[in-house]
Amino acid sequence: MAITAADVNKLRKQTGAGMMDCKKALVETDGDFEAAVDVLRKKGQKVAAKRGDNETKEGLIFAETSEDGKSGIVLALSCETDFVAKNSDFQDFVKSIVNIALTNKPSNTDELMNLSYDEKLSVSEKITEQIGVIGEKLVISGYEKIDSDCVVGYNHPGNQLATLVGMNSSSDAANDAGKQVAMQVAAMNPIALNKEGIDEATIARELEVGKDLAIQEGKPAEMAEKIAQGRLGKFFKENTLLSQPNVRDNKQTVQQFLDSSESGLTVTNFKRLALS
């Protein structure tokens, strides 16, 4: 049957595939629109298999919060080149997945991949379809969510880094302070909220390194133990969010800044995603 320009354009709008790929798919399926969509999806599966070992160091990250401000998600979709990452169609595609995640609040990446993208495809299937359209490996390389009294998101310019911060108050002061803390998380990359959040293996490693350094400096063993404990304290201050010096005023810690913003205000949770 004759393939019209309108048919090609309709398929292109639905799938995002190139005009020639859409025309070839319609010709191959004798104008069967649904079969042509499947042809393009299979092309994506072939490209995905071919590029399975390729590195995905580029991409986009977005943090978004719900209308009521009590939940938020941060999501990273990685690709192979910055040429793709800077493409507006790719940006729109990432945002569409972000909206699905924010609406459904899946617990993890696997649940997100199994959600419906539209009435026909799951998120996983849509990503595979887009692999065929774009010609690069695409991977959801990070996904996190937070629920709290107030959740604030920060998207660093360029969308290579984004953070989420949960606060224990829904006041305007908490929201304003949360914005500053979200930028703190982006800049200082803390590994835990406080020292209680650091695992025993990390603490043991820091103590061992601190002790070895002291011995190398010529300190006796009993003194090396005390020096290692002191260095562990410094490690806590530098790497736990609430104990870090506030980036806007390093004379106070983040927790002191929060106390000055609102009595009893603190951070309940935080998430940070960055492209490696």
Q: What is the pLDDT of residues 170-218, one digit of tens each?
A: 999 999 999 999 999 999 999 999 999 999 999 999 988 988 888 888 8
- Determine the CATH number of domain 58-193+264-274: 3.30.479.20
- Strand-strand pairing, 161-167 and 150-155: antiparallel
Q: What is the pTM of this model?
A: 0.80
Segment (H or E) for 76 = strand 71-79
Both structure tokens of 207: 């103590």
User: To which CATH superfamily is domain 5-50 assigned?
Assistant: Ubiquitin-associated (UBA) domain (1.10.8.10)
Which residues of the chain form CATH 3.30.479.20?
A: 58-193+264-274
In this prediction, residue 187 carries a pLDDT of: 96
Residue 196 backbone phi and psi in degrees, to 5: -65, -20
The CA distances from residue 190 to 72, 126, 167, 237, in Å, are: 19, 34, 16, 10
CATH 1.10.8.10 in the chain, residues? Answer: 5-50
pLDDT of 15: 74
Q: State the pLDDT at residue 45.
A: 63
Q: How many helices (H) and strands (E) does the chain have?
A: 11, 8
Residues in the chain predicted with pLDDT less than 70, given as ranges, are 1, 16, 44-53
Nearest residue to 152 (alpha-carbon basis) of 171, 137, 138, 136: 171
